[in-house]
Amino acid sequence: MLQVSFLREHREDVIKRMAVRNIDATESVDNAIALDEKRRSLQTNLDQSKAEMNTLSKEIGQLFKNGEASKANILKEKTTQLKEDIKMGEQQLAETAEALNNVLYNIPNVPHASVPSGNSDEDNEEIFREGDIPTLAEGALPHWELAKKYDIIDFELGNKVTGAGFPVYKGKGARLQRALIAYFLDKNTEAGYTEYQLPLLVNEASGFGTGQLPDKEGQMYHVTADDLYLIPTAEVPGTNIFRNVILFEDDLPQTITGYTPCFRREAGSYGAHVRGLNRLHQFDKVEIIRVEHPDNSYKALDGMVDHVKNILRELKLPYRILRLCGGDVSFASALTFDFEVFSTAQDRWLEISSVSNFETFQANRLKLRFKNKDGQNELAHTLNGSSLALPRVLAGLLENYQTPEGIKVPEVLIPYTGFDIIS
């Protein structure tokens, strides 16, 4: 959530940068500023009325003490009206504060100056590419056919038990999935991230804290009986560890990694491009999260990008990095880099990681602050990235490592799987 003071001081620049998202933010920004001015005016009047009430109460007490009951009763009549004014003022203040928050909650983050204009993922900017695309033998299969051939993932069984988008991993498929999770966690902890095992359900405050709520697209599963939400990513519980927390500057950075299943409704997703592991309702992901000093957050973002690069190099998967355009960057992000691996059997790129800097947007919602060297409280910057999302990494491995003899296992994963080929 953007701060009203920031909107007021940078109004023209905010409106200009929001245009990169294809949004005319003029009305929302001006509404927020006007509501804040009204809120501050109501607060001033309320404070004055309360101060007057306190003064009169002291005078009335003294008059009664001095035996001047008639004068005291005259002042008591005045306090009756003041009490009504205060009650009305408190109600108006609460209503105005709620209206202001509703406006602020629906204004997305301001894109970083480097975010290009664009309407959709087709306008994202490729900034890096690495790795050789393998030449597969004739008759190479997409991963959903490989999964059936080697009996390692059963999509039909998952459909029977739950529904489409909930696959069942079997035998060496389950072992490979577990190996990837352990490998990713080991790489992250070696890089200095502290491993957490996080809840899979969160409350509404946590959803608001990281910007998943208000959930206009209805992409989160809602457990209505308990008013809890299944997590779409470990970012939500991991970042909310720091909700309503004041750190010291020397405590920064805070770094977290965690493995969780993730749940997404993916409403409106259909077609050949979502077949197999390409888009699921339940999938596994290992996440990295950072809380940083504002002066260091973009250096930290570069470090996260390099970290994911190193993992993909070890897996020997061809990949590219995209800087997301304004029309594709998420609601809460200021700058996002997407990683995609090339699926040779499908002849297409598959997104496997997003690495983002949210600057103070989440921290303001979370009330996540740190005490600087001068003893003043500042909002921290939050960052997160997939390291990595498993379904499309697994799809890329199955398709790119297939041979006539079977599916080879990347060398770096063999100590985790205990086998070197799926046949």
**SS3 sequence, 259-290?**
EEEEECCCCCCCCHHHCCCCCCCEEEEEEEEE
CA-to-CA separations, 34 to 10, 38, 47, 364, in angstroms, rounded: 15, 6, 20, 20
- How does pLDDT run across 60-93, given as a tens digit for each residue? 888 888 888 888 888 888 888 899 999 999 999 9
| Confidence band for 270, pLDDT divided at 50, 70 and 90 | low
Task: At 320, list the tokens.
Answer: 């590219």
Q: What's the pLDDT at 71?
A: 83
Task: State what percent of residues in the chain have pLDDT above 70.
Answer: 98
CA-to-CA separations, 333 to 183, 329, 362, in angstroms, rounded: 28, 7, 9
Beta carbons within 10 angstroms of residue 31's beta carbon: 16
User: Within 13 Å of residue 339, how many CA atoms lie on the same side as its CB?
Assistant: 30
CA-to-CA separations, 130 to 225, 312, 320, in angstroms, rounded: 48, 9, 6
Q: What's the pLDDT at 191?
A: 98
- How does pLDDT run across 384-420, given as a tens digit for each residue? 999 999 999 999 999 999 999 999 999 999 999 999 9
Task: At 109, list the tokens.
Answer: 């983050």
Task: State what percent of residues in the chain have pLDDT above 90.
Answer: 88
Per the document, the length of the chain is: 423
Q: Are 242 and 210 contacting, i.e. CB atoms less than 8 angstroms apart?
A: no
Task: At 272, list the tokens.
Answer: 């050949």
Stretch 123-144: mean pLDDT, rounded?
Answer: 94
Stretch 318-333: mean pLDDT, rounded?
Answer: 97
Q: How does DSSP classify residue 320?
A: E
Check whether 53 has a pLDDT greater than 70: yes
Q: What's the pLDDT at 267?
A: 64
Q: Where are the alpha helices (DSSP H) in 121-170?
A: 143-149, 155-161
The CATH class for the domain spanning 121-422 reads: alpha beta
Q: Rounded to whole angstroms, how far apart are CA atoms 216 and 220?
A: 10
Domain ranges of the chain: 4-105, 121-422
Q: Rounded to whole angstroms, how far apart are CA atoms 75 and 11?
A: 47
Q: What's the pLDDT at 73?
A: 84
Check whether 334 has a pLDDT greater than 90: yes
Task: At 266, list the tokens.
Answer: 């993916």
- Mean pLDDT of all residues in the chain? 95
Stretch 329-340: mean pLDDT, rounded?
Answer: 97
Stretch 327-342: mean pLDDT, rounded?
Answer: 97
Q: What's the pLDDT at 80?
A: 87
Q: pTM for the whole thing?
A: 0.92
Check whether 35 has a pLDDT greater than 90: yes
Q: Where are the alpha helices (DSSP H) in 150-263?
A: 155-161, 171-190, 204-210, 235-240
Check whether 268 has a pLDDT greater than 70: no
Q: Where are the alpha helices (DSSP H) in 242-383?
A: 297-315, 361-366
Least confident of 55-59, 76-80, 348-352: 76-80
Task: At 156, list the tokens.
Answer: 């039909």
For 324, phi then psi, to 5°, come to -70, 140
| Confidence band for 369, pLDDT divided at 50, 70 and 90 | very high
User: Which has the closest alpha carbon to 361: 17, 104, 119, 97?
Assistant: 104
Q: What's the pLDDT at 216?
A: 61
Q: Are 320 and 349 contacting, i.e. CB atoms less than 8 angstroms apart?
A: yes
Q: What's the pLDDT at 152?
A: 98
Q: How does DSSP classify residue 177?
A: H
Check whether 111 has a pLDDT greater than 60: yes
Per the listing, tokens 């203040």 go with 93
Task: At 230, list the tokens.
Answer: 């299944």
What does the CA dihedral 298, 302, 305, 310 come to, rounded to 10 degrees? -150
Stretch 178-207: mean pLDDT, rounded?
Answer: 98
For 64, phi then psi, to 5°, come to -65, -40
Q: What is the CA angle 206-209-214, rounded to 5?
A: 90
**What's domain 4-105's superfamily in CATH?**
Serine-tRNA synthetase, tRNA binding domain (1.10.287.40)
Q: What's the pLDDT at 273?
A: 66
- How does pLDDT run across 211-238, given as a tens digit for each residue? 999 876 688 999 999 999 999 999 999 9
